[in-house]
Structure 1
Amino acid sequence: MVDPLETVRQKCEQAAHCVHTRERLDACESRVSSRSNTEEDCTEELFEFLHARDHCVSHRLFRAVK
C-alpha cells in the first residue's frame, strides 16, 4: 500500500513555487556547510519550503484520498 500523503508531497515538491523555495534552502545549506564558524542556520528557509509544500498538499491531498 502506498501512502497518498507521500505521493502528493513528492508531486508538490516539483511545483514551481516549491522548487524555488527548495533551491533557496539548498543554497543556504551549502553556504552554511562551507563555513567552519557561523551563527547562521537555515531555519527560515526550511520553514518557507515546508510551508509552500504543505500549502500545495492541503489542496491536493483530499482529492487523492477520495
Structure 2
Amino acid sequence: MSKPTDKIIPVVKAEEEEAAEEEDLVDPQQELRDACAQKQDAQAQWGVYQECNDRVNSRSNTAETCEQELIDYLYVLDHCVGKEIFKKLK
C-alpha cells in the first residue's frame, strides 16, 4: 500500500557502485601525513616523544605524561600537511 507522501516526494534510489571503484579511493591527508612523518622536523619531534614515553614506561609510579610531546609531534605533522592538502582537494 502506498503512503500519501509517495505521490508528493519522489524516491530516488542510488545506483550501486562497484566495489573496485571504492578501493581506488585514497585519503590525500593520510598520504601527506605519511610523507611528512619522514621529514627531519617530524622525526626529531617523534624522537622527543619516544624518549618521554620510554622514561614514563621505565618508572612504576609517576605522574608524568607525554601529552605535550604528542601534541607537539601532531602539530608538526599538521603544519606540514596543511601546506599541501588544499591543493589536492577538489
**TM-score scaled by structure 1?**
0.92
- Unaligned segments of structure 1, at least 5 residues: none
List structure 1 segments (4+ residues) > 3 angstroms apart after TM superposition.
none
**Which residue identity lines up with residue 42 of structure 2 in the other structure?**
C
Tell me which protein shows more helix as a share of its residues: 1
Larger radius of gyration: 2
Return the match for 1:4 from 14, 28, 37.
28
Identity of aligned residues (%): 38
Calculate the TM-score normalised by the size of structure 2: 0.69
Higher relative contact order (CA 8 A, sep 6+): 1
Q: Does 1:29 align with 2:59?
A: no
Structure 2 unmatched ranges of 5 or more: 1-24
**Residues paired across the two proteins, number:** 66
